[in-house]
Amino acid sequence: MSRKLVAGNWKMNGGASTLAGLNDLAAAYQEAPIDIAVCPPAPFLAHADHIVSGSAIEIGAQDCHTAASGAHTGDVAAGMLAELGCAYVIVGHSERRADHGETNATVAAKAQAVLDADMRPIICIGESLDQRKAGQTLEVVAEQLAQSVPDTEAVHQLVVAYEPIWAIGTGEVATIEQIAEVHGELRAQLVDRFGEEGVGVPLLYGGSVKAGNAADIFDVAHVDGALVGGASLKPDDFMPIVNAMLARV
């Protein structure tokens, strides 16, 4: 069984008042039997880590470079994020794949950089609306999984997030049946590739997760948590999602 994880992705949002909200999260979750992470924009990481220090909340970044250092103006190395106190790095989010042309190979190299820095990559995959309409969903996510997850012995450090692109930030959530079908396929692929260890890789669902739908989503087989965008910005929206998972462990 994999340990559950609820992770918030602030994307390029947030500021002083959003950071202040982390005090509420830290106070509410001093200890927890699940993993809870918040991924603010890079400039806020050190401050965010300071606020949640001593609580059950861990901090994650939203991206990193594939290289450990070098002439890459504006980029951030995984080792730097680890030094700041990050425990997770999101890699291959569909917004980065679209905005920055990131390929599965780039995503795998980033995930490897995260593992090399002793953090956990949250590796995002998911189909477009056109691919779903064309009946290609399982084929697309299987290929993304195979190519975006690096060959590694640190299987216990991996996290995979299934995020159908058409459900991200749209308010449109995949149906329970759609989530069950994809998560079942992803689990089978992970076990095929990594054996028993593949059972322990947390599989998150992402795409318009909210207080009102989290419980139903968490009840789906092979859903081990959520990657939450919009609803992670305010504690009043995020805490009910965390609590829905806590009620299930």
Q: Active-site residues: which are they? A: 93, 163
Over the window 7 to 26, marking each residue x when it contacts ligand PEP by CB under 6 A and - when it does not, the resulting string is --x-x---------------
For ligand PEP, the closer CB: 79 or 206: 206
Task: Give dist(CA 218, CA 246) in Å, integer.
Answer: 10
Supply the minimum distance, in Å, between the C-beta of residue 224 and ligand PEP. Answer: 15
Supply the minimum distance, in Å, between the C-beta of residue 10 and ligand PEP. Answer: 9
The residues in 158-197 that bind ligand PEP, with binding defined as CB under 6 A, are 163, 168-169
Instruction: Give the residue from 4, 25, 34, 5 showing the smallest Cα distance to 234.
Output: 25
For ligand PEP, the closer CB: 190 or 209: 209
Tell me which of 77, 230, 233, 245 binds ligand PEP, using CB under 6 A: 230
| Cα angle, residue 110 at apex, residues 80 and 153 outer, rounded to 5° | 100
Task: Give dist(CA 23, CA 131) in Å, integer.
Answer: 41
Instruction: Give the residue from 35, 61, 31 showing the smallest Cα distance to 225.
Output: 35
Question: Does 108 sit near ligand PEP (CB under 6 A)?
Answer: no
- Determine if residue 73 is left, alpha or beta; phi over 0 gives left, psi from -120 to 50 gives alpha, anything else beta: beta
Size of the site for ligand PEP (CB under 6 A): 14
For ligand PEP, the closer CB: 79 or 220: 220
Question: Does 228 sit near ligand PEP (CB under 6 A)?
Answer: yes
Tokens of 62: 């939203």
Supply the minimum distance, in Å, between the C-beta of residue 121 and ligand PEP. Answer: 14
For ligand PEP, the closer CB: 127 or 163: 163
Supply the minimum distance, in Å, between the C-beta of residue 232 and ligand PEP. Answer: 7
Over the window 192 to 211, marking each residue x when it contacts ligand PEP by CB under 6 A and - when it does not, the resulting string is --------------xxxx--
Instruction: Give the residue from 190, 208, 174, 248 showing the smallest Cα distance to 3.
Output: 248
Using alpha carbons, list the distances in angstroms from residue 105 to 10, 193, 228: 25, 17, 25
Q: What is the DSSP letter of 227?
A: E
Q: Are 58 and 29 in contact (CB under 8 A)?
A: no
For ligand PEP, the closer CB: 9 or 79: 9
Question: Where are the alpha helices (H) located in 10-128, listed in sequence order?
Answer: 16-28, 45-52, 78-84, 94-100, 104-116
Residues engaged in binding ligand PEP (CB under 6 A): 9, 11, 163, 168-169, 206-209, 227-231
